[in-house]
Structure 1
């Protein structure tokens, strides 16, 4: 049985790759987000798949800040993590949350990252309580908006969403930006710390259900005119984003029985997803990665049926063209050689731009 570690700090010591690969069943360190989130579901399901196959035991730290997790994988201190693709992009340039590293060291570290699969399940939403101060998502001036943890990909997307919806920049003027670590998100919002919130969420989101337990809420997609505007298309195609569209009736059905109203201006829930890669160090043993990726591909049904959010994970169980995964453009994220071999042995095509 895999060892399930609940902690908030980065795992400081990964296991050496060569001895690990030699064991019948490897023990690998991993970090993920808080329970109730899509990356958490994917990672814990992957752990169960690998354990059942006798391939690896994942020691998972929950509630991690993925900005730190990505750097830990790049430095070889961690074996696996879900990575919002904006983070390797920023790391490679040594900017944003990685500005202290600098471009040279950042590029070196980013070059140590490899993907084993991709997903784009968490789409940006905007929400507020029915009884709260917000009545128009295009008029947020003076409001307190929860827009992410203190730093990272979600905060970047959250700031962009408020700018797109209401024309307000997160510079301390126009609206009050509220941030908290992921494990404190629900308590911050339900405790009255924010008038509204914008968060990348899977479908359905346990976090949104928990928030609605404290009072009726509304969840909005990105209005069509804003999404199709020049700024909207810039944000939707920005590094780390991917298109997201689900029939609105399916979206509503996912929250049936909860006090949540879904608001759209047409028959689809349209937004931009946070594109993710499941990353490992480039020097992780190729045969081990091949076995991990093969087990992942063979476990498709388990991922898709183990949770109501399963059909909306948008995980890569088929051909990989790169563009649909949010890479092969501004974001340069290559597959691990072991993953390439696993996809091709399963009969799937892999674009040249994804090859290491």
Structure 2
């Protein structure tokens, strides 16, 4: 009788664990960032669904992570879309690969879903205010990690605001992501610009050391020819957030938000969650199905959840920042999963 009960219990458990046979590797950004929240929540969703166990490495430099996925050394990573674009050309951080090798590696990358979770901000401590953010000559500004998409965007922001290039009007300060907050709170810089979610745990931690002011891009600059070029550049997506929504996200923290109209205008860093093209189609189908079924958890597990601009609906390509200068394909298993849930996927994303 006892033996029968044990066998019966085991049989009852088997359907819950039968799919938990895959152990996958994932690299993501530092704690407090939007990609970190997305990836750790994603890992929890997959584990609870019995699909896969994700071994998550935090504080990664995504430039390296994207190349690792392309080379098949890593299973999953969040990719700022500028990186596959630069890799396909063999330029920027991938100049060492050259155009031919870069294009070959970029062709090995497949998207499984998209998001635009990080909006570029410019900020400083109220104890050391900047009177005019369009005049930054001689300032020391933290503008990103040593290389990669965030640094490209950070440099573009300072150039857009003040017409200055790094080293020709201001001093750019770069550190790996885990050192960003200590560098800023130590008082070693006059200001900082970074891609951040809403609300940003990073900015809240920075503000814990003293009140800060966050600026958007002033409307006249944002709507200029250069402003629109940067907002719509490969890897970017223009964003306007109602100011009451933006300010409400920081309620209870010593954060002042300055805009010149009724919206916070900037540009988001467009991302894709990527896997190698060779990943098993059925596995990807199960992974993306679990992701789509985890929408409520993804959007409600933290205050940042509703502001991640994630694809839980139709994918037209343009809204995700692809199918133009950035060419990336979706994995067939991901396309199947979206279509099985009744969503459409643009033809330009099909392999």
Question: Which TM-score bucket, shorter chain as reference?
Answer: over 0.9
2:152 is the alignment partner of 1:156: yes
- Residue aligning to 2:181: 186
Q: What are the superposed Cα offsets for residues 99-119 of structure 1, whole Å, 9 maximum, x if unpaired?
A: 011000000000000000000
Contact 2:150 2:194 in 1 (8 A): yes
Match of 2:161 among 148, 162, 165: 165
2:315 is the alignment partner of 1:345: no
**Alignment root-mean-square deviation, CA:** 0.9
Distance apart, 1:24 and its partner CA: 4.5
- Residue aligning to 1:256: 251
- Residue aligning to 2:60: 64
Counting matched residue pairs gives 334
Query: Which structure has the greater CA radius of gyration?
Result: 2
Match of 1:310 among 305, 324, 330: 305
Contact 2:332 2:350 in 1 (8 A): yes
Distance apart, 1:215 and its partner CA: 1.0
1:8-47 maps to which residues of 2 (within 5 A)?
24-47=20-43
2:316 is the alignment partner of 1:355: no
C-alpha separation between the residues in 2 aligned to 1:307 and 1:194? 30
Aligned structure 1 segments of 4 or more residues deviating by more than 6 angstroms: none
Distance apart, 1:246 and its partner CA: 1.4
2:142 is the alignment partner of 1:127: no
Match of 2:169 among 174, 191, 208: 174
Match of 1:223 among 218, 222, 239: 218
C-alpha separation between the residues in 1 aligned to 2:265 and 2:342? 32
Contact 2:84 2:106 in 1 (8 A): yes
1:270-289 maps to which residues of 2 (within 5 A)?
270-289=265-284
2:117 is the alignment partner of 1:93: no
C-alpha separation between the residues in 2 aligned to 1:32 and 1:244? 23
C-alpha separation between the residues in 1 aligned to 2:326 and 2:93? 16
- Residue aligning to 1:76: 72
2:235 is the alignment partner of 1:240: yes
Q: What are the superposed Cα offsets for residues 174-220 of structure 1, whole Å, 9 maximum, x if unpaired?
A: 00101100000000000011100000000000110111111111001
C-alpha separation between the residues in 1 aligned to 2:273 and 2:196? 17
- Residue aligning to 2:9: none
Match of 1:300 among 295, 299, 305: 295
C-alpha separation between the residues in 1 aligned to 2:21 and 2:311? 25
Distance apart, 1:25 and its partner CA: 2.5
Q: What are the superposed Cα offsets for residues 291-343 of structure 1, whole Å, 9 maximum, x if unpaired?
A: 00000001000000000001101000000000000000000011100000000
SS in 2 for 1:301: helix
C-alpha separation between the residues in 2 aligned to 1:284 and 1:27? 13
C-alpha separation between the residues in 2 aligned to 1:294 and 1:155? 34
- TM-score by structure 1 length? 0.93
C-alpha separation between the residues in 2 aligned to 1:347 and 1:133? 51
C-alpha separation between the residues in 2 aligned to 1:24 and 1:39? 24
C-alpha separation between the residues in 1 aligned to 2:301 and 2:52? 20
- TM-score by structure 2 length? 0.94
Distance apart, 1:23 and its partner CA: 6.5
SS in 2 for 1:290: helix
C-alpha separation between the residues in 1 aligned to 2:55 and 2:229? 38
SS in 2 for 1:79: coil
2:268 is the alignment partner of 1:268: no
Moved more, 63-72 or 213-222: 213-222
Distance apart, 1:268 and its partner CA: 1.0
